Chain A
Amino acid sequence: MNKLAEQVTSQERKQNKENYLYLLEKGKGLVNLFYATIRTAALYEPNNDAFRKQIGPLMQAVREIIEHEGELSFSSKEGYLFLNQARLRLDFENYVASRFILEFTQKLQIYKLTLESGISQAELQDLICILAHIDPNEKEPFEVIEKKIFEQNLGHIRLEKEREHPVPEAELTSLDQRRTAKKTFYRAISVVREFSQRTQSGKGMNLVKVKRLVQSLVDQILQNEEIFLELSALKNYDEYTYLHSTNVCILSLLLGLRLGLSKRELCELGLAALFHDIGKVKLPLELLNKPSEFDESEWAKMRKHPVMGVKNLLASLKLDPFSIRAMLVSFEHHLNLNLSGYPKLKEKRDLNLFSRIVSIVDTYDAMTSGRVYLKTPFPPDEALRKMFYVREKVYDPSLLKLFINLLGVYPVGSLVLLNDGQIGLVTKNNPDNPSSPKVKLIADQEGTKEVPEILDLSQDSSSSAEPGASRSILRCIDPQKYNLDLSQFIL
């Protein structure tokens, strides 16, 4: 290649990179504005002040990007949202909005939405109104939107339809994905078990194996969060200790994902979470599975497990960042934010980010399963409230909020009683309406339903109990109290 050509390519590359960073930067704000405007439009008329307050800044942001880039488009590919050619990074500042746009466009069968140079505020406003008011039960939403855009003569807006067949909502998670997820979930349990047993007998463990596992967990969680939430809600296994570690790993990864951690960081986090209780391997099983509360001497033994964990990891004789993160998390996961927990420290310090994450997730899983420290489990919603109000100095408050946002008030997998007397299993959280998730109705007075029905509580307007009123959740039910196996409804 001659010098000039090389210069041009390198300049191009630089330009591309700059463009990419520009889009990433602008994308954050745009996604949030877009989300807020559509949500406002669904509630208010276009001439309402609240709506006008939204559309102005949105228009400005759109204009700015078009000026810089020539045009603006949202598209989705493999579960990621793209602004023009840049894949937007999800983090805690735009997570809800990005997810919303992704799911919203998917529901409307829109693969790509392009705004061309010259678009006016009136056109943008009309588009938002069309999108916000489309009937959720419309069979062919794309065609309806396209027609409206044509009729209203919105010349600077282009739509492209989803190429693949849209998946019916009830089967959003394909059977294949579920099977793979379940397999990975079980593999995780088996890896924890193997690691624990090897540690117990003083043997080393192949860390590459664990890394691969966490990597495949991350990959699959990126594709489908809900199925893993459902899996982690199942607590009815005999080998609870391994299951607990797997659950903590999955929930930690979900929280890490929402924080916008890189893949490498996620891998470190997942590994650390998986082994946070590795210090328990040498404790007698009778103690771990003791059905009643611990006495003081038993507590003293339990309190040693963070330190024992460090020793066990140290015994694997590796000092890579992965192992060190795991040691740190093992050591700190019961310390509490205000260091009121155990072990007692000589020196004051700030808890590591990963320890803060694992500590929240760990408590949540322990409280809702009622196996470890509390012998009677709390329903998920109650556990979250307890953590939020009663033990507020113990957890990182913003991380806890983020975690609750992620789970919803009624986390996926919760067994709930509705106000019309039906019993349902929560299958999907509505981020903008956390008390009204989607539920799978699985039982009524006849007992277990043959074919479960899916109900979106945020969209419901029919109630068999009280005509005209919408159905809602009355409270959570503890499946363990009845020794129930809910896996049939999940897997």
Chain B
Amino acid sequence: MSEETLDLKSDLNELQDQSNELLKAAQEVVNLFIKAIKIFCIYPPDNPIPKEFRNNLFRKLTEFLDENEELKLGIDQSRLFFKDKVILKEEKKDEGVAFALYRDGIREVSFQKGLEQEELFSFLEAITSCIKSILPEDDLVTLFWEKDLPHIKFSAVDEFLTEDISDLPQPTGSKDLKELYYSEVDLEGSREREISQPSKIQVERFLRDLDLIPQRELDELKFLLEKDKSFEPLKEMFFILKEVLSADSEFSDFSETILLLEKLLDSLVGQEDFYLASEVLLLLKNLGEAESEAGQAHRTERIKEALNRAGDKERVKTLTQILNQNPRLDLFSARKYLSLLSRNTIPHLVDMLGELENFATRSMVCTVLESWGEKNIELLSKGVYDRRWYVVRNIVGVLGRIGSPLAIPYLKRTIGHEDLRVRKQTLEALSRIKGEEVNSILLSILEDPEEKLRVRAARFLGERPCQEVVDYISNLVSRKDFRDKSPEEKKVLLETLAHTGKDEAVNLFKKMILKKTWFKKEKQKETSYLALKALASVNTPSSLEALKELSSSGSRKTRQQANLLREKFSSFQKSGEGRTPEVEKEFEI
């Protein structure tokens, strides 16, 4: 090999090394860039972590630019290129930085020397906001354009920039000025002109009047500009729509405008923009009220029709699909939207409960149903006949939160539901409804096969003192099978009796405490101890008297326990303290 070729080869190698080095440097910057954006998406902007990343990126990028003048990146759907080499490949194809840029037509970004910190930060901010929202308000090209970034250049594909515009209006008319010259100059002064021409004095006056814009007008102008800064698009749009509708003097025009609003509503729902959709719905409602006040029956009816349509079966189906498909949805606005729909939508919403796939959306729909309240119990309660237990449970929950006695007939039905979860929910619902009618249903639950349910029912009954409860439970605890129940259930039942029966229960307790049996002695001991405790918790003079009696009779154990309880309770009575939770705890088994 000659010396010359060797030289060339080492030159080539050196070049190769250089370009590798450059590629590495670019890669480093790009990695930082992607990291910074990812972190921006996670942390709030004033957090120190994204700040540090951002500053770091700026430092590295300016270092690169100082040496290489620019950093030009090519873009496709999921990759970034530097000098035609892939420098970044994103894991997922349809999200991430490359895609955000690509989606808005940007195919190349170039950072140039002289880049300022503010520019880079604005750039990052724009991209982050675009990635974060599914339906960004503006495209990136517009955002960048507005931000004025002199050291960041883009090339974007725009269908219309390459579009053929050959078919354009062409100027018409002659190009020769001779005719004009002679008629204008010759006729000057010799003919009254069609349009009066201003005299010199008029022009001068005009100029003088224009010369100064007085301070008052300047201030008004400033005020106008200032006011425009707080332009509220929606408020303005509603103003226009109201005026447009009132300008529609013909019913057909009016109906056409309402139809436009209906279509708009559909489109907004399709775009999953429930915020705007709610606003439009609200507008329609307000308009309807205004028309009705003005005695415009025909128009009122038309708006009603539109509102009904918004909540019809088909549309609720679409809503269900949207709610199932997009877990990131703004549920707050969705709820607002659903609660603005008309009454006719209630059965469809009940149906929707069966189709919704996640807890958050179901609970949202339940809140909406609940807001329909007592007046619509009958419509809402259709749900208790649903074959899906979870729909029934949700509806029972709604009925419970409404808390109206009107729901009792439906709850009577569901308390016998085969699914325990429904029965549980029914019990909770019943507990929220006032009135003695509920008591007998709660009492019937004391016979439910599920102990947990019985215990809970007993607890609820404790809060509802009445003769029926006292009689029923007195009877129940006197039954032979009572002692076989679990200590928990016995305890709760006895407590409930103490709480509701007070002095009336004292004798029964005494009897239970002193009762002796030959069989199941342990069970009986347990029962008698629990009865003793219940007796103490009655905490009246006659119950204390009974305790005193017991402390000197019965078994040794009973005497001891009765003494202990007596001391405690009489000392509370002296010091005037009530039954605090701590005290209760001390007496737990």
A interface vs B, CB < 8 Å?
Answer: 1, 6, 9, 13, 92-93, 183, 186-187, 189-191, 208-209, 211-213, 215, 234, 236-239, 242-243, 259-265, 267, 307, 310-311, 314-315, 317, 319-321, 324-325, 327-328, 331, 343-347, 349, 352-354, 356, 376, 378-379, 381-382, 385, 388, 396-399, 401-402, 404-405, 409, 417, 421, 423, 434-435, 442-445, 447-448, 474-485, 487-488
B520 at the interface (CB under 8 A from A): no
Closest 5 CB pairs of A and B: A447-B178, A485-B173, A443-B177, A398-B217, A317-B267
Mask, B242-279, CB within 8 Å of A = 1, is 11101110000000110011011001100001001000
Which of B145, B209, B276 is in CB contact (< 8 Å) with A215?
B145
CB neighbours of B242 from chain A (8 A): 346-347
CB neighbours of A93 from chain B (8 A): 218
Apart from the given pairs A265-B228, A346-B242, A381-B203, 15 other A-B contacts in the complex at a CB distance below 8 Å: A13-B118, A92-B218, A183-B165, A186-B169, A236-B171, A263-B145, A315-B263, A317-B263, A319-B233, A327-B237, A328-B236, A352-B231, A382-B195, A482-B177, A484-B175
What's the minimum C-beta distance from A326 to chain B, rounded to whole angstroms? 11
B518 at the interface (CB under 8 A from A): no
Contact A262 B146 (CB under 8 A): yes
CB neighbours of B173 from chain A (8 A): 236, 479-480, 483-485
Contact A212 B160 (CB under 8 A): yes
Contact A352 B213 (CB under 8 A): no
- In B138-178, which residues have CB < 8 Å from any A CB? 139, 141-142, 145-146, 148, 158-161, 165, 167-178
Interface 9-mer from B181-189, B313-321, B350-358, B554-562: B181-189
Contact B195 A401 (CB under 8 A): no
Contact A1 B194 (CB under 8 A): no
CB neighbours of A483 from chain B (8 A): 172-174
CB neighbours of A260 from chain B (8 A): 225
Contact A310 B56 (CB under 8 A): no
CB neighbours of B227 from chain A (8 A): 353
Q: Could you give 22 example pairs across A and B, Cβ below 8 Å? A: A1-B55, A6-B51, A212-B161, A236-B172, A237-B170, A259-B225, A260-B225, A267-B145, A311-B244, A317-B263, A319-B273, A320-B137, A325-B233, A328-B240, A347-B243, A353-B228, A382-B195, A401-B210, A409-B206, A447-B181, A485-B172, A488-B175
Complexed CA–CA distance, A264 and B231 (Å): 13
Whether A187 contacts B177 in the complex (CB less than 8 A), given A307-B244, A409-B207, A434-B207, comes out as no
CB neighbours of A208 from chain B (8 A): 139, 142
CB neighbours of A484 from chain B (8 A): 173-175, 177, 180
Contact B171 A482 (CB under 8 A): no
What's the minimum C-beta distance from B45 to chain A, rounded to whole angstroms? 14
CB neighbours of A215 from chain B (8 A): 141-142, 145
CB neighbours of A263 from chain B (8 A): 145-146, 148
Complexed CA–CA distance, A259 and B268 (Å): 35
CB neighbours of A209 from chain B (8 A): 158-160
Contact A353 B224 (CB under 8 A): yes
CB neighbours of B203 from chain A (8 A): 381, 409, 435
Which of A211, A310, A382 is in CB contact (< 8 Å) with B244?
A310
CB neighbours of A189 from chain B (8 A): 168-169
CB neighbours of A183 from chain B (8 A): 165
Complexed CA–CA distance, A267 and B203 (Å): 35
Contact A435 B207 (CB under 8 A): yes
Contact A212 B141 (CB under 8 A): yes
Which of B180, B195, B233 is in CB contact (< 8 Å) with A324?
B233
What's the minimum C-beta distance from A385 to chain B, rounded to whole angstroms? 6
CB neighbours of A343 from chain B (8 A): 243, 247
Complexed CA–CA distance, A476 and B193 (Å): 12
What's the minimum C-beta distance from B314 to chain A, rounded to whole angstroms? 19
What's the minimum C-beta distance from A272 to chain B, rounded to whole angstroms? 12
Complexed CA–CA distance, A484 and B173 (Å): 5
Complexed CA–CA distance, A315 and B256 (Å): 11
Contact A417 B185 (CB under 8 A): yes
B117 at the interface (CB under 8 A from A): yes
Whether A482 contacts B165 in the complex (CB less than 8 A), given A237-B171, A346-B243, A401-B213, comes out as no
